Structure 1
Amino acid sequence: MSALVMESLNKSYGDLRALRDLSMEVRAGEIVGFVGSNGAGKSTAMRIVLGVLGADSGEVRWDGKPVDLAVRRRIGYMPEERGLYPRMKVSDQLVYLARLHGLSTASAKAAMEQWTEVLGIAERRGDEILKLSLGNQQRVQLAAALVHSPDILVLDEPFSGLDPVAVDVMSGVLRDQAAAGVPVLFSSHQLELVEALCDRVGIIKTGSLVAFGGIEELRRTDDRRWLVDGPPAGSWLSAVPSARLVSHEGSRSVVEVRGQADDGVDQELLRAALAAGAVHEFSLLRPSLTELYRHVVSTDSVVTERETVSA
């Protein structure tokens, strides 16, 4: 199965390390979210995939072969900074870009009509870009990435500035593209959206990929937290030495069990609670992607170079 692979990418600007041995794979038919704080290296990695920037070392491959100009022509790219001609009409803009990708005039016009219809901007085809709202400009930018039926999609902050309806439209388009076998890589600061939409997520910090995997995989932790709705934990928790009380409100307690996952300890916790009284709820609490991200990004690490870059 075809995959877009970034392997051991490094990029420096003088003494500033923008990427540090970054390796990541986006498989055909998969949506991968790329998250990190401003300046973490997301855009730098995407620009290397596109060939806009050259890596100091490492390689980008598609279908097992190094990405060359022919492959890059088959990538649909949406930059974070809008790259549209402001005084050009929407229809003319999209037809022009499709023609640059090798489509005939008739095919380019048909593709323009298709994507402006799908993205809800058909009635704005005759408008100049500068006269559109920021959200509609974003829709045109996505249409520009899709107009040549790309084999790969690389989108930098595609949901920025969109209202909820537009977010739903764009999410549907990305799901449809993945269902057609297109690998989709996109960056976003909207972590709840990333969690809902993506098959896998990569978290980047100061140029290094510090976590990568499926949502459920990333949410697994060695220390499990349980919600116990029943007798106050103070009356029974001491019976389970490896557990501690995290919080308590009314009849609901959040209890953490430390160490490797062990069903025996979890059952011991439940038995101890039941011995003290009726238990109405006993459920495992997994961290959300937002909580995981905050933990990963806020964890201190030793970095000798300056840690900010417009990346």
Structure 2
Amino acid sequence: MTIRFDNRVAIVTGAGGGLGRQYALDLAARGAKVVVNDLGGARDGSGGGSPAAQAVVDEILAAGGEAMANGASVTDADAIFAMVEEVKARWGRIDILINNAGILRDRTFSKMTLEDFKLVLDVHLMGSVNCTKAVWELMREQAYGRILMTTSSTGLYGNFGQANYGAAKLALVGLMKTLALEGAKYNVRVNTVAPLAATRMTEDLMPPELLAKMGPETVSPAAVYLVSEDAPTSVILNAGAGGFEAAHVTITKGIHVGADEMTPETVAARIAEIRDRTGEVVPDTGAGQGAMALGGQR
């Protein structure tokens, strides 16, 4: 079955280039009306005012699609809420939000300023919060919504020199997990993609021969699926270079001991058993994990 987005309205942030541009083009090609949001700043978040968003809109229009440009910063909640009102006035609804906008300010933690740490969190985490909050009630009211967060291998597994980026990206997984639960009865599904892509964010982080295999078009299939009508919810998909994998936050069977054994020495003596991944599971919720611990159901 071909995935289509006819009569759907999508907002894609950071869509002036790279992954966001690809998402916007692919959604439009499958029938969606697309809001191309991009501040037009540099990779580190400085500057702005680039015509990049309008250029992508022009591509969509030339191909026979419908689109509009928006230059609001995702860190400016008032501007984002104004964008949403403008979209509602024009097209009457918003069905899809892809939180893609991001910046990098890479340094080791010892050399990183608190300003650089906070700015990366503001763009990735609070930017996604601002955009999601702006569409959340509308999606609940219309009993339909598909929201996509963007994490990364740094958030899931860590990378040297990216403490700020990793903190923001894993926070988005936690946000997604809770929103997926809260949105379920309203048919609002929330997922996360972890891209491995050649964009200006990664152009000097990987060798050219690897980047050549990692165009944004290798990630977009996962993103497009995760905002489709039949998408699951609370899923993390890694995507890039032809690979698609699901990432999970798992828990081992561990151990369950009595009061007389609840000591640091017990943990030290049995740490290998605690960390043994044989039979590990994925709890449905945080409360579910707590119930396992309280009940000793390992």
Higher strand share: 1
Alignment TM-score > 0.5, same fold: no
Instruction: Identify which of structures 1 and 2 has the higher relative contact order when contacts are C-alpha pairs closer than 8 Å and 6+ apart.
Output: 1
